[in-house]
Amino acid sequence: MNQRLFSLCTPCPEGFSFCGEFRSRDFRSAPFALHAPSPEAAGEFLGSHLDRLAGVILVPGEHLSTRMLAEQLSLITFSPPLFPYLADFAGHQLRQLDQLVSNEENTARLALEHERLSGDNRRAAEEFEQFRSSLLREIEERRMAERQLSDSEEQLRQLISSTGEAIYGIDIDGNCTFANESCLSNLGYEQIGDMLGRNMHDLIHYSTPDGTLTPVEECRIYKAFREGVGVKVEGEYFWRRDGTCFPVEYSSYPIRKDEAIVGGVVIWRDITERKRAEEERRTLEQQLLHAQKLESLGVLAGGIAHDFNNILTTIIGNANLALMRINPESPAVENLHRIELAASQAAELAKQMLAYSGKGKFLVERLDINRLLEEMLHMLEVSISENALLRFNLTRPLPPVEADVTQMRQIIMNLVINASEAIGERNGLITITTGCRECTSDYLKEAWLAKSPVDGLYVYLEISDNGCGMDNETLVKIFDPFFTTKFTGRGLGMAAVLGIVRGHHGAIKASSEPGKGTTFQILLPATLAGRC
């Protein structure tokens, strides 16, 4: 308690003085010790303050502060007038003593509990430290695993991004879940966000080049992951962002998670260049086969023409001798002239066969194609139909070529007459164009029978018409010997043109479209001194 303790001593003057002061003052809730010579003396003092006392303990002869309360209980004596009050006070003190004893027991129990709890706390602290250490190790291991996983994912992303194959993924609904750089660039997209979440069939695989829609049910990409079987497809088309399409080769595989198919991955590549190379290879193979066929026919035609010429020489010679010896008035003279005419026509045919075979006799000289055309202008105009108009479009100056003039005339005449016949009875235009250009081997490979083409400067002679034209099936046979679309034709005109061009180490290109006309372009190597 925090209140002051007043010691009231009645035997000494100071004590009586203090007792007087105690009587006159209003002390509340202040414990005090009263030392009196006898219980009666104490009762006399306390009598007037019984209403203010909670209880009194009277101990004769000794000061209460020197001994414990528990040791003095047996010495307490009471004055009968104070019994009611002292009994209450003693009961209160006993209750306090019981409380103290109980508190001591509780303190002992608390000490034991504290000791037990301290042990438990130590064990808990040790266990916590072990758990903390284990948790730290687990956290570090997890961080290391996450770093390794992150590194692995980064390596995988770099691998997928750097591969030349285009790759994209789709979910079970066909919507894009990822795409690598090759996929984005080949399709014309800059950011992955432009494709994520979009339906890939509707975006890049919705139709064929001719506009025929491809139903999603027929899409083999979807079929692969829906049926759980990978497929490899070639020859279908994807569409770029700019609306152009291109041929692709792709493989589609299902993606599984927990034994269930959750989507698919598509690995594809643009095969435009491969298709172009294959088409060029097929074209070259066709040209090679055609060249081999023409070569074989040329050998045959050359042999026949050579033997035929020998026979014709004998016939013409004997006819001339007969005409020299026979009487001019003889009826046989007319027959001999017919023999000479027929033999001459046969000789011309043999000459064309030799030209086709490339074994004709060439008198090569430096030739200006423009001048040759100007010299032939009148002959060409009278050779074409009245409905056809002839127009020159000549480039000047033009490098000279090494060529046989007679053979060049035959080429020009054959092509112009063919153009006139293609125009027929309706009005038409025949255009003769000259020029020169640098030709690469790739350009020359597209020409007919350009054997071992050499890059360089070429002079071209182009004859075009707006006549009936030809389909592709007819065009590929146009240089075959004895092939003709004319009722009275022998089929050696264009074959002879090809043979002459080949004999001059040149090339010829032909293009035609039904109803629009035909164009032939003769390419001849320019002389070393020539320039465009």
Asked whether residue 483 is assigned to any structural domain, the reply reads yes
**Do residues 321 and 375 share a domain?**
no
Domain of 188, CATH number, reads 3.30.450.20
**CB contact at 8 A, 495 and 351:** no
Give the CATH number of the domain where residue 451 resides. 3.30.565.10
Preceding amide of 397 cis, omega within 30: yes
Say which range, 88-92, 118-122, 217-221, has the weakest mean pLDDT.
Answer: 88-92
| Prediction pTM value | 0.47
Same domain, 249 and 397: no
Q: Is 496 helix (H, G, I), strand (E, B) or coil?
A: helix
Identify whether residues 370 and 499 lie together within a single domain: yes
Query: Under 8 Å CB-to-CB from 459, ≥6 apart: which residues?
Result: 369, 398, 399, 401, 434, 435, 436, 523, 524, 525, 526, 530
Asked if pLDDT for residue 11 goes beyond 50, the answer is no
* Sign of the Cα pseudo-torsion (190, 194, 197, 199, in order): negative
**CA 177 to mean position of chain CA atoms:** 13
**Residue finishing a domain among 217, 243, 270:** 270
Same domain, yes or no: 254 and 288: no
Condensed to tens digits (0 to 9), the pLDDT of residues 321-351 reads 888 888 888 888 888 888 888 888 777 777 7
Of 245, 220, 248, 525, nearest to 366 (Cα)? 525
Mean pLDDT of 52-74: 46
**Domain contains 212:** yes
* Per-residue model confidence (pLDDT) at position 317: 87
329 and 425, same domain (yes or no): no
Give yes or no: residues 291 and 319 share one domain: yes
Where is the domain boundary, 312, 341, 370?
341
pLDDT in tens, 397-439: 899 999 888 889 889 988 999 899 888 888 999 999 999 999 8
Six-digit token string for 2: 């925090």
Q: 444 with 510, same domain?
A: yes
Q: How far apart are CA 24 and CA 18, in angstroms?
A: 10
pLDDT at 197: 92
* Judgement on whether residues 433 and 520 belong to the same structural domain of the protein: yes
The domain in which residue 265 lies consists of 166-270
Give which of 369, 347, 351, 371 is closest to 361, Cα–Cα: 351
pLDDT computed for residue 219 by the predictor: 87
Q: What is the predicted pLDDT for the residue at 373?
A: 93
* Beta carbons of 423 and 467 less than 8 angstroms apart: yes
Number of domains, the chain: 4
Give the pLDDT confidence score for residue 321 in this predicted structure.
87
User: Do 323 and 371 lie in a common domain?
Assistant: no
What does the CA dihedral 153, 157, 162, 165 come to, rounded to 10 degrees? 110
**In whole angstroms, how large is the CA radius of gyration of the chain?**
63
334 and 374 assigned to the same domain: no
Residue 182 lies in a domain: yes
The amino acid at 273: E
The pLDDT assigned to 18 comes to: 47
Q: Specify the amino acid at residue 338.
A: R
* Domain final residue pick, 52, 84, 104: 104
Determine the Cα–Cα distance for residues 493 and 480; give it in Å rounded to an integer.
10
- Across the range 62-85, mean pLDDT stands at 43
Q: Is residue 152 a part of any domain in this protein?
A: no
